[in-house]
Amino acid sequence: MPKKNIIIEKLPAMPKKPELIRVAAYARVSADKDAAFHSLEAQTEYYEQCVSAHPDWQLVGIYSDNGISGTTINRPEFQRMLQDCWDGKIDLIITKSITRFARNTVVLLESVRELKRLGVDVYFEKENMHSISPDGELLLTLLAMYAEEEARSASENQRWRIQKRFENGEPWVGKMLGYRLKNGRLVIVPEEAEIVRQIFSGYLSGMGQYSIAKKLKLQGISSASGNIWSGASIRRILTNEKYTGNMILQKTYRKDFRDKTYRKNRGERCKYYVENSHEAIIDQEAFDEVQEEMARRAVKYNHTPETVRSEPHLFCGILQCGICGCHYKHYRTNAKKYDKSVWACPSYYAMGKDICPAQQIPEDILIEKTIDVLSVPALNRETLLKRVRQIIVPAHNRLRYILQDGTEIEVVWQHRSRRESWTPEMREKARQRALAQHRKEEN
């Protein structure tokens, strides 16, 4: 049987579809005055056009921090972007310039090196430079040092201006209850001055700081900042010498241009005392009487500096009431019997549920839930501050964790039953009380 000729037709190979490069854009606006020119809408439009010009690029997202200095790494959107890089969602980051990415040499190099380890490239448009290029790190180091020096110079200039104002006896305050700053001088606001006098007279009549705060709240009077009144806000007014017409300047300071937190001046900087700088609301005699009364009560209630805890409690400054906005404080309930630690809203704890119906939370439950959220074997304050930005108590038996990378996690908790929460010592004490009561009834 004759063989058939087999014809093989050669077909052209199908073109290989290019893999998409997942691109993220990072922008930072350092001051609110720049926001109009760098709005998120404008940034989105610009980067969408930029990415669409590259067929092999896919826009993952735009991360934008507004009003936050580039000298710090604690920027929510910056942290969220880094987390997405760690999760393998980003291949390339594009940003306007090195100064937009970071103004701190250490922050810049550590971030770029970590991203390089993850295989993520950073492209700086202004410098036309990729971080993964052979000369990238050397150029980045030089340019970052220049950017950092610019930030240092701007900070030093601002500090010099503030220092000169202090030396000239000019206040560095924009708004406080009872006064407004006009043409470099504090001018009395009459209706607010009456509130200040009410606070001082109330304290001298025997009222406590929380009692005064509760009274103002029930009267519908707002604080200068618009926040809810608290014992701390009343104390700040009672100890503010500016109400006597005199001023102490530079009571706080910043350590350097990288440190954005204010520290209490305990002799590290010069202080300036200005007499009769403006019209007084409280006479000096009444002010001194209040300071003496505060010192007397501190001794009576054992609140002297020697008894104040030097280190903050675990959740101090992190746990916030979702109802009134106050930060929860650490308390001990039934200390003589059970020595139980709880966290509660100070508005509720000191002024009652009419002011704030927030719920107190046992510390052991709070620690347990936080360990579960962070997936760590144990909890300390360093770990907590590094991982958690804020914990909000939005409602009863609810906790909302806001992590440093912007992730939000909401959890539910329940009070343990009395039997489960009792320790052996508590059970023994209860048994002894029951026996004593039984003997008393028999006699």
Amino acid (1-letter code) at residue 97: S
Q: What is the pLDDT of residue 292?
A: 94
Mean pLDDT score, 244-258: 75
Q: How confident is the model at residue 190 (pLDDT cuts 50, 70, 90)?
A: very high
Over range 16-33, report the average pLDDT: 74
- Alpha-carbon distance of 443 to 440, in angstroms, equals 5
pLDDT at residue 281 is higher than 60: yes
Query: Residue 428's pLDDT is what?
Result: 73
User: Distance between CA 230 and CA 325 in Å, rounded?
Assistant: 11
Segment 242-248 mean pLDDT: 89
pLDDT at 36: 44
Integer Cα distance of 108 and 129 in angstroms: 14
pLDDT tens digits, residue range 303-342?
Answer: 655 555 556 788 998 999 998 888 898 887 764 444 578 9
Task: Give the separation between CA 10 and CA 415, rounded to whole angstroms.
Answer: 75
Residue 203 pLDDT more than 80?
A: yes
User: What is the predicted pLDDT for the residue at 33?
Assistant: 47
Confidence class for position 37, pLDDT limits 50, 70, 90: very low
Whole-angstrom distance, CA of residue 124 vs CA of residue 121: 10
What pLDDT score was predicted for residue 318?
A: 92
58-62, 355-359, 436-440: segment of lowest average pLDDT: 436-440
239 and 294 in contact (C-beta within 8 Å)? yes
Instruction: Report residue 214 as tokens.
Output: 């509760």
Strands (E) in 231-350, as ranges, are: 247-249, 252-253, 263-264, 272-274, 319-321, 329-333, 340-344
- Sign of the Cα torsion 232, 233, 234, 237 reads positive
CA atoms of 244 and 275, how far apart (whole Å): 9
Q: Which helix (H) or strand (E) holds 47?
A: helix 40-52
- Nearest-5° angle of CA 205, CA 220, CA 195? 45
| Predicted local distance difference test score (pLDDT) of residue 398 | 93
Between CA 131 and CA 138 the distance in angstroms is 10
CB 231 within 8 Å of CB 209: yes
Q: Measured between alpha carbons, how far is 250 from 239 in angstroms, rounded to an integer? A: 15
Alpha helices, DSSP H, located in 256-362: 284-300, 346-351
Highest mean pLDDT among 53-67, 147-161, 417-431: 53-67
Confidence of residue 365 (pLDDT cuts 50, 70, 90): very high
Task: Give backbone dihedrals phi and psi of 19, rounded to 5 degrees, phi first.
Answer: -75, 140
Q: pLDDT confidence of 355, banded at 50, 70, 90?
A: confident
Evaluate if residue 289 carries a pLDDT over 90: yes
Helix, strand, coil % (nearest 5) of the chain? 40, 20, 40
- The pLDDT value recorded for residue 225 is 74
**Cβ–Cβ < 8 Å for 98, 127:** yes
* AA letter at 389: R
Amino acid present at 208: G
Q: Which amino acid is at 406?
A: G
Q: Encode burial over 268-307: b for 16+ CB neighbours within 10 A, e otherwise.
A: eeeebebeebbebbbeeebbeebeeeeeeeeeeeeeeeee
Classify burial at 433, counting beta carbons within 10 Å of its beta carbon; exposed 0-12, middle 13-18, buried 19 or more.
exposed
- Residues 363, 315: Cα–Cα separation, whole Å: 9
Which residues contact residue 354 at a Cβ distance below 8 angstroms, ignoring those fewer than 6 apart? 218
Highest averaged pLDDT of the listed ranges 7-21, 37-51, 361-375: 361-375
- The span from the CA of 148 to the CA of 290, in Å, is 47
Q: Dump pLDDT digits (tens) for 127-181.
A: 888 888 777 667 666 666 666 666 666 666 666 666 666 666 666 665 789 998 8
Q: Which residues contact 112 (CB under 8 A, 6 or more apart)?
A: 122, 131, 136, 137, 140
